[in-house]
Chains A and B, each alone.
Chain A
């Protein structure tokens, strides 16, 4: 029996707005404008984050339309054949040509780096972008691959017994990032 307990709230609703605004500004700044940017959100919670960032970037850049795609990485996972359960394959929607674009991958939490590795492979099967960058709301450490975020909302140090939970209005009905403590004591 696994029980969990909320340990701390890292980002609240207001904090989320502020963080995303900063990330949007950093993305524009690093890419010297939004001219060539496309955002690709990694399912599940990367997708709404990508849409929010696109809206923020667009307003920074005078209403310019920023292309947004959604990426499902199930087919690129490296643990597919060894995991005990099969995740559902869902649609990938990249309705634009990524050739020579600055693709910004968007995800909620950066942890082992395996998801990002899979996402890079997936993106490359759609064409050859000019560069790929990574934007994440939370970097919780614990990397198993040489991957780093280009745009990071908040850096945390967590232990393996803890989990970072991102809740988003579009998926969960509220905006917050919390740390929960997992313990496997029997009830």
Chain B
């Protein structure tokens, strides 16, 4: 088991949410169950609870991500937490301040929880080892994006029932995707089967060491799966020489209506957004009957509320 998260099994306790690697099924289930109740809260006339009154949450975004930041902010407000936001795309770094100094400065304003998006893998673990506040990883480089993984799992669970035994295909740039990793770890820990599909240059050489099978042919993958999670293709992969062109990528790995119809079965289509329509996913798929993409967004708020709620209720280093 990976040491990323401090976990006590009886009862399952999560002190930080740094990733889903090594997080056992009961912990994931507790988060998802709690999220279901927050979904109900979000449906009420007053979609807000006082649970985190007096808790201050800092949203630190060292990389642009409007969606994730808004989702976290809304989750915090729905829980009555106080929030502060810090966004930079390298500005304080340019001034020579280190990540640790930046965060220590913010923590000195009496912050209880730090939600951090950062471009460097391992940066949330780095923080969790060094500050007193609890840390929620909102995406660390190409490592993990646990709340995205959880919201994807909640979406699948609500759509198809239990996760155990389900077949999930993750399609696209696996090598550089934190969404892929969190999905893989979380789904496998909950007993689902996962295969990955994409061009060989975007599949890690040792992908199978994660416990997944590589399936190079998309049609075959669609024939196999219950759910396909389509990853965003970062356009910079072209300049890095990993794919020759978007067109070339789309020909073999773009999810089209034709491919889904050829598979001739019920397949749930997910995408973490933002989408490159016409590249990794066609509009008539994204907006079609297969898609649960907008429920994913709604579930994101509930899952983040659950994660923030559950880690706030625990003393750090509680035994």
Interface residues of A (CB under 8 A from B): 72, 74-77, 80-81, 83-86, 88-92, 121-122, 124-127
Contact = CB atoms under 8 A, between A and B. Distances in A.
Given A92-B37, A92-B40, A125-B45, A83 B313 contact: yes
B39 to A, nearest CB: 10
A127 B45 contact: yes
B261 to A, nearest CB: 38
B41 interface: yes
B313 A86 contact: yes
A75 B313 contact: no
Interface in B223-249: none
A80 B313 contact: yes
A43 to B, nearest CB: 12
Interface of B: 11, 30, 33-34, 36-38, 40-41, 44-46, 48-52, 54-55, 309-310, 312-315, 318
B55 A75 contact: no
Nearest to B45: A127
A90 B11 contact: no
A91 B315 contact: no
Contact of A81 (B11, B34, B48, B54): B54
B220 to A, nearest CB: 41
Contacts of B313: 80-81, 83, 86
Contacts of A90: 37
Contacts of B312: 81
Given A84-B318, A125-B44, A126-B44, A89 B50 contact: no
A85 B51 CA distance: 15
Contact of A125 (B30, B49, B318): B49
A39 to B, nearest CB: 19
A86 B314 contact: yes
Contacts of A76: 49-51
A83 B315 CA distance: 9
Contacts of B37: 72, 75, 89-92
Contacts of A89: 33-34, 37-38, 309
A75 B35 CA distance: 12
Nearest to A98: B45
Contacts of A83: 313
Question: Which secondary structure characterizes the binding site on chain B?
Answer: loop
19 contacts: A75-B37, A75-B41, A75-B49, A75-B50, A75-B309, A80-B313, A81-B52, A81-B312, A86-B310, A88-B30, A89-B38, A90-B37, A91-B40, A92-B37, A92-B40, A125-B44, A125-B48, A126-B45, A126-B46
A75 B51 contact: yes
Contacts of B314: 86
A121 B54 contact: no
Contacts of A122: 49
Nearest to A124: B46
A84 B315 contact: yes
Contacts of A75: 37, 41, 49-51, 309
Contacts of B50: 75-76, 121
Given A80-B51, A81-B52, 7 more contacts: A75-B37, A75-B51, A75-B309, A76-B51, A86-B313, A89-B33, A125-B45
Q: Which 10 A-B pairs have the closest CB atoms?
A: A75-B49, A86-B313, A125-B46, A75-B51, A89-B37, A89-B34, A80-B313, A91-B37, A80-B51, A127-B45
Contacts of A124: 46
A80 B313 CA distance: 6
A127 B30 CA distance: 29
A107 B319 CA distance: 33
A83 to B, nearest CB: 7
B26 to A, nearest CB: 12
A78 to B, nearest CB: 9
A1 B173 CA distance: 56
A75 B46 CA distance: 14
B15 to A, nearest CB: 12
A88 B312 CA distance: 14
A96 to B, nearest CB: 13
